[in-house]
Amino acid sequence: MEEASQASGTEQAVDSTVQTDRPSNIPEKFWDSAAGQTNVNAMADAYSSLEKSFTQKTDDLRQEIETERFANRPETKDNYAMPEIEGIEFNSDDPLLTFWKDQAYNQGLDQSGFEAGIKAYHEAVVNVAPDYDAEIKKLGEDATTRIDAVKAWTESSLSDNTQKYLSQIATTAEGITAIEELMGLSSKSVNSVSDQPSAPSALTMEDLQGLMNTSGYWDNSGKRDMELVRKVEDGFKRLNG
């Protein structure tokens, strides 16, 4: 019995030693040596404090970045000044310009960043725009006359909305030719200039369109009738006068 009691006391002593030893992975401040166990409450409080501190620092950093990002932008989007680009006149009501102002302001762009976006867009448009001189050359020696005739026909025959879309087509030689075909389709065929007894002042729009559809008006092979061309031009002037 005495031996058994001594053995039990030894086991208790061993157990007590194990309980009071702090595990190597538990910091001392989280170890309750009296209880021989981890202080869970202290550990939880420390974690909560660390999380709060981290969140606060993250919010402060985010606010600092936002403040720095918007530091140089104008007070309002309408305070952006338009850059000076030769040959360009900006319309303040242009939807594309309004869109860019919104984007620039929301991104915190300063004046230079705003201008850089507009200039980059302008350069892209210029690079894809038709070469005016090259298109004029394609139309031949009578390019100016053909363009004026197309302009006169669209202005006198078509609605403003249709004119708007055709003006985009008329930036190339192919576009001018296509409109000339439309002019011919909308008129009655005139087979001979000599069969036109009316004086230029009496010519109707239908008459002028018919004349323009004849080879004497736009034949570029050297057979063009310049008297006919003048008759058409005078006719359009009188109709639009």
Whole-angstrom Cα distance, residue 69 to residue 77?
15
Q: Is residue 56 part of a domain?
A: no
Whole-angstrom Cα distance, residue 130 to residue 124?
12
| Residues 137, 104 share a domain | no
| Residues 101, 82 share a domain | yes
Contacts of residue 226, defined as CB under 8 A and 6 or more positions apart, other chains included, come to none
Residue 29 per-residue DSSP state: G
Quote the pLDDT of residue 188: 45
Least confident interval from 85-99, 184-198, 212-226 = 184-198
| Residues 235, 137 share a domain | yes
Task: Give the Å distances, CA to CA, from 148 to 41, 54, 89, 176, 201.
Answer: 91, 73, 24, 10, 18
| Residues 236, 138 share a domain | yes
| Residues 154, 79 share a domain | no
For 153-191, the pLDDT digits (tens) are: 888 878 888 888 788 788 888 888 888 888 777 654 444
Residue type for position 222? G
Q: How confident is the model at residue 97 (pLDDT cuts 50, 70, 90)?
A: confident
| Residues 146, 123 share a domain | no
What is the model's pTM? 0.35
Q: What is the largest CA-CA distance in the chain?
A: 149
Of 97, 128, 159, which residue constitutes the final position of a domain?
A: 128
114 has a pLDDT exceeding 70: yes
Backbone φ and ψ for 76, nearest 5 degrees, come out as: -135, 165
Residues 25-47: what's their mean pLDDT? 81
Domain that holds residue 162: 133-240
| Residues 137, 124 share a domain | no
| Residues 106, 162 share a domain | no
- Tokens 């006149």 correspond to 89
Of 92, 108, 128, which residue constitutes the final position of a domain?
A: 128
